[in-house]
């Protein structure tokens, strides 16, 4: 059921509160990346251990997001959004005060709870925004994923250049407090389904899903360090497959399952999730390769641009602006040409950006301009996914649907970053550890090939709502995406 019109909040204030909340997550996702060399030195650790500051965040996100999203559908999206912000604030303050790298890694894992803010925010928009504002709000909020991530790289570089690494977490803590205040003031609680609070929490399903995702992501992120054919890594993947099989059995026996497996086997939802996987993989080739390409000194490698961390962050910032702009342009495109159109444009732009970068990556400003194509593609793609999930998933499971779609994209991000890192490790200049230019070229061509796969996926996608269980309560309309169509 929707919030009565008379009680709707100010839509601009509501959107601002949700954007700040989601933005606080996306900033923290990438802010640590430029600080890794400094953290390695200050915490007296090695590069492999420091890399866990990224891995732990991904693991925490994958484990906690589907659980909080499903709980939001049952007990209130605003309530769970505040829970996520509170846990995010506590872990961020813990990270700022961390005495050693082990504590910092643990706090980073807990910070992963922040990813749940995106699916919760999308569910709030669907319930609380005026119908004519839903589509555009979906687009801008989802596009914050790419826009905030690019800004996080720049902010992290600026802070670490002149201040202690602890100030990164201090800055983030202030932003989280602001977000929580805005949510308390401007975000209403969404109306729950009758009897939702009486549904049992699927603890067993949550534990099994968390274990399966943890083993999968751990295997992906440790592939280079352990060796892709090592017994330990194969054991992780085998364990993940086994737990996913157990999840199928467990969820099919649950009266109130955490994951409606029939929904995620529904062909339109399956294709949408595969598209989300690619929207995670392709941009992360660029997130890993472009900063190194821009920062590599020319005297070390001929292809290097020799820019500082801050300079490279500034050069990549226009792509974040393109991401946000594309997210805002998704609604009219979908209204004119249908819900698949923005996702089709997304895959075309990312493919074009990858192809042109593979062929032509010798100039600083050319790289920045070409990355804008990828950024715009990401913006269209993120917004299109939010709209497609809303058009397929029953509205009382919207946060859960977006939560798992977000987790799938996170797995794709891990795959993309590890594939790019593997190329840099495998292709080096003879007699040195410096990556060869062919590592970058191959990475961009691989991203282009995956973009073509995405184009094919969109071509076969036929969005249609998933129908299961009892009819929705009176007054609850069938989901129609981000806007009526």
Specify the pLDDT at position 472: 41
Residues 405/273, Cβ–Cβ less than 8 Å: yes
What is the maximum span of the chain, computed from C-alpha positions, in angstroms?
71
Specify the pLDDT at position 385: 92
**Residue of 5 and 254 predicted with greater confidence:** 254
Domains of the chain: 11-189+256-460 (1.20.1250.20), 202-255 (no CATH)
**Per-residue pLDDT averaged across 9-28, rounded?**
93
**Per-residue pLDDT averaged across 83-110, rounded?**
95
Alpha helices in 163-266 (DSSP H): 166-186, 203-221, 223-226, 231-253, 261-265
Q: Which of 200, 138, 112 is nearest to 407 (CA)?
A: 112
**Residues constituting the chain:** 485
* Count of CB atoms situated within 10 Å of the CB of 476: 15
Q: Which of 115, 109, 69, 116 is nearest to 91 (CA)?
A: 109
Distance from C-alpha of 208 to C-alpha of 378, rounded to nearest angstrom: 31
**HSE value, Cβ hemisphere, 13 Å, CA-based, for 22:** 27
Flag whether pLDDT at 4 surpasses 90: no
**Residue of 89 and 434 predicted with greater confidence:** 89
Residues 45/101, Cβ–Cβ less than 8 Å: yes
Residues 73/400, Cβ–Cβ less than 8 Å: yes
Flag whether pLDDT at 224 surpasses 80: no
Residues 270/262, Cβ–Cβ less than 8 Å: no
Specify the pLDDT at position 241: 95
Specify the pLDDT at position 7: 53
Cα separations (Å) of 115 from 59, 75, 177, 358, 433? 11, 18, 16, 32, 35
Flag whether pLDDT at 200 surpasses 80: no
Confidence of residue 384 (pLDDT cuts 50, 70, 90): very high
Structure tokens at 77: 């999206």
Query: At residue 154, what are phi and psi to the nearest 5 degrees?
Result: -70, -45
**Helices 364-392 and 117-128, axial angle in degrees (round to 10):** 60
Flag whether pLDDT at 458 surpasses 50: yes
Rounded percentage of the chain residues whose pLDDT exceeds 70: 92
Specify the pLDDT at position 471: 39
Distance of CA 170 to the CA centre of its chain: 23
* DSSP bridge partners of 482: 480
Task: Return mean pLDDT, the chain.
Answer: 85
Q: Which of 190, 131, 171, 387 is nearest to 276 (CA)?
A: 387
Flag whether pLDDT at 477 surpasses 70: no
Flag whether pLDDT at 198 surpasses 60: no
Burial of 431: CB neighbours in 10 Å, binned 0-12, 13-18, 19+ = exposed
Instruction: Decide: helix, strand or coil at residue 478.
Output: coil
Structure tokens at 271: 């294709």
Flag whether pLDDT at 432 surpasses 80: no
Instruction: Decide: helix, strand or coil at residue 435.
Output: strand
**Per-residue pLDDT averaged across 396-409, rounded?**
86
Distance from C-alpha of 128 to C-alpha of 268, rounded to nearest angstrom: 26
Residues 85/180, Cβ–Cβ less than 8 Å: yes
User: DSSP state, 5?
Assistant: G
**Per-residue pLDDT averaged across 106-132, rounded?**
92
**pTM score, two decimals?**
0.83
**Per-residue pLDDT averaged across 79-103, rounded?**
95
Token pair 């990270």 is at which residue?
Answer: 95
């Amino acid at each position: 059921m929707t919030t009565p019109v008379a009680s709707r909040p100010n839509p601009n204030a509501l959107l601002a509160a949700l954007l700040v909340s989601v933005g606080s997550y996306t900033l923290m996702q990438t802010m640590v990346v430029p600080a890794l060399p400094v953290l390695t030195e200050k915490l007296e650790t090695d590069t492999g251990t420091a890399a866990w500051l990224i891995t732990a965040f991904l693991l925490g996100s994958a484990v906690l997001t589907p659980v909080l999203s499903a709980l939001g559908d049952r007990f209130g999206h605003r309530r769970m959004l505040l829970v996520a912000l509170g846990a995010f604030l506590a872990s961020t303050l813990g990270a700022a005060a961390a005495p050693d790298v082990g504590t910092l890694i643990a706090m980073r894992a807990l910070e992963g709870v922040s990813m749940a803010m995106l699916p919760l925010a999308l569910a709030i928009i669907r319930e609380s925004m005026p119908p004519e504002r839903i589509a555009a709000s979906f687009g801008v909020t989802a596009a914050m994923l790419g826009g905030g991530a690019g800004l996080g790289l720049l902010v992290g570089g600026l802070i670490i250049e002149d201040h202690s690494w602890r100030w990164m977490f201090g800055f983030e803590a202030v932003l989280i407090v602001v977000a929580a205040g805005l949510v308390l003031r401007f975000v209403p609680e969404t109306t729950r389904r009758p009897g939702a609070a009486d549904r049992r929490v699927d603890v067993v399903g949550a534990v099994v899903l968390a274990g399966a995702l943890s083993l999968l992501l751990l295997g992906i992120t440790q592939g280079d360090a352990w060796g892709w054919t090592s017994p330990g890594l194969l054991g992780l993947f085998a364990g993940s497959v086994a737990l996913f099989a157990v999840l199928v059995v467990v969820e099919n026996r649950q009266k109130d399952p955490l994951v409606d497996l029939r929904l995620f086997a529904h062909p339109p939802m399956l294709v949408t999730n595969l598209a989300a996987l690619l929207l995670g993989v392709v941009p992360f080739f660029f997130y890993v390769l472009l900063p190194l390409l821009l920062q590599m000194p020319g005297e070390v490698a001929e292809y290097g641009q020799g820019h500082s961390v801050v300079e490279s962050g500034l050069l990549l910032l226009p792509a974040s602006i393109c991401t946000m702009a594309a997210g805002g342009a998704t609604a009219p495109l979908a209204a004119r040409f249908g819900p698949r159109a923005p996702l089709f444009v997304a895959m075309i732009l990312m493919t074009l950006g990858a192809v042109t970068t593979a062929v032509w990556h010798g100039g600083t400003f050319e790289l920045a301009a070409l990355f804008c194509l990828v950024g715009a593609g990401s913006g269209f793609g993120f917004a299109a996914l939010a709209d497609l999930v809303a058009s397929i998933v029953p509205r009382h499971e919207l946060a859960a649907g977006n939560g798992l779609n977000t987790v799938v994209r996170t797995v794709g991000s891990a795959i993309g970053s590890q594939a790019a890192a593997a190329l840099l490790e495998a292709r080096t200049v003879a007699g040195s550890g410096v990556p060869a230019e062919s590592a970058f070229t191959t990475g961009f061509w691989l991203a282009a090939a995956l973009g073509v796969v995405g184009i094919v996926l969109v071509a076969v996608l036929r969005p249609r709502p998933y129908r299961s269980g009892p009819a929705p309560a009176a007054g609850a309309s069938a989901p129609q995406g981000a806007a009526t169509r």
